[in-house]
């Protein structure tokens, strides 16, 4: 018998860019396992894509290919609509390194679905109890202005937790941040929360613990990438 947690439920993501240095990032959390294997796509210095809802695994790679061929995010989304006859069931966001944003939330997404955004970022979700979840995420991202991209994205996801009921457990999560000017990227994922939802497990809690352990090491890894004997 299939586990219902594998068949949908809640899905949240936040995508952002910093046009000043072309940093791109995406953070996701879901009640389905292994969200990082299906939903986030990123090409350094070009664009980041979230493909969720009833995910089409071809959408993310196709969108990035089109952007690398010179299409705008608006032209790319239009091409996806022509390519995929089930776009009413998809939720897709594209954020370019230049700051352009395009979002699609099809009317056939599960329960309440939608998106909100602002300068250089967009929050989206489906299977949500109501719009307050995305409103909380939007506020947290805006309030985090000036903080590092990775921390800001993770905090934005965490802001949603208090607006989700127990029927919306977060089983998997991921955090991906890349910049053309950094040798070490943030690329972290929790494919399955350490504890089950009925025992209070949450993939965001696990992702935060992983992030806090990993972040102090990034400077060491960056030095090692330039020389095995850094001075």
In the predicted structure, residue 2 carries a pLDDT above the cut 90: no
pLDDT (0 to 100) of residue 185: 87
Give 148-175 pLDDT, tens digit per residue: 999 999 999 999 998 987 778 999 999 9
Q: Give the number of other Cβ atoms within 10 Å of residue 50's Cβ.
A: 30
Give residue for tokens 């985090």: 144
On whether the pTM is more than 0.85, the answer is: yes
In the predicted structure, residue 127 carries a pLDDT above the cut 70: yes
In the predicted structure, residue 226 carries a pLDDT above the cut 70: no
pLDDT (0 to 100) of residue 99: 94
pLDDT (0 to 100) of residue 1: 32
Strands, DSSP E only, in 9-119? Answer: 11-18, 23-30, 40-43, 47-53, 90-96, 101-105, 112-118
What phi and psi values does residue 169 have, to the nearest 5 degrees?
Answer: -70, 150
In the predicted structure, residue 6 carries a pLDDT above the cut 60: no
Give 168-210 pLDDT, tens digit per residue: 899 999 999 999 987 778 999 999 999 988 888 999 999 999 9
């Amino acid at each position: 018998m299939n586990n219902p947690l594998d068949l949908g439920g809640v899905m949240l993501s936040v995508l952002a860019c910093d046009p000043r240095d072309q940093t791109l990032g995406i953070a996701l959390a879901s009640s389905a396992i292994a969200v990082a294997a299906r939903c986030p796509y990123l090409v350094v210095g070009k664009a980041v894509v979230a493909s969720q809802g009833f995910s089409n695994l071809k959408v993310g790679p196709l969108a990035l290919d089109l952007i690398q061929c010179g299409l705008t995010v608006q032209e790319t989304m239009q091409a996806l609509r022509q390519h995929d006859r089930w776009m009413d069931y998809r939720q897709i966001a594209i954020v370019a390194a230049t700051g352009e944003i395009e979002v699609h939330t099809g009317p056939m997404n599960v329960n309440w679905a939608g998106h909100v955004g602002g300068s250089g970022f967009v929050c989206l979700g489906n299977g949500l109890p109501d719009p307050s979840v995305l409103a909380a995420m939007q506020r947290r991202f805006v309030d985090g202005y000036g903080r590092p991209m990775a921390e800001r994205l993770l905090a934005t996801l965490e802001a949603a937790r208090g607006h989700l009921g127990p029927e919306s457990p977060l089983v998997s999560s991921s955090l991906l941040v890349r910049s053309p000017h950094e040798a070490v990227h943030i690329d972290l994922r929790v494919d399955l929360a350490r504890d089950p939802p009925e025992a209070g497990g949450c993939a965001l809690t696990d992702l935060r613990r992983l992030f806090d352990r990993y972040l102090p090491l990034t400077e060491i890894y960056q030095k090692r990438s330039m020389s095995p004997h850094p001075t």
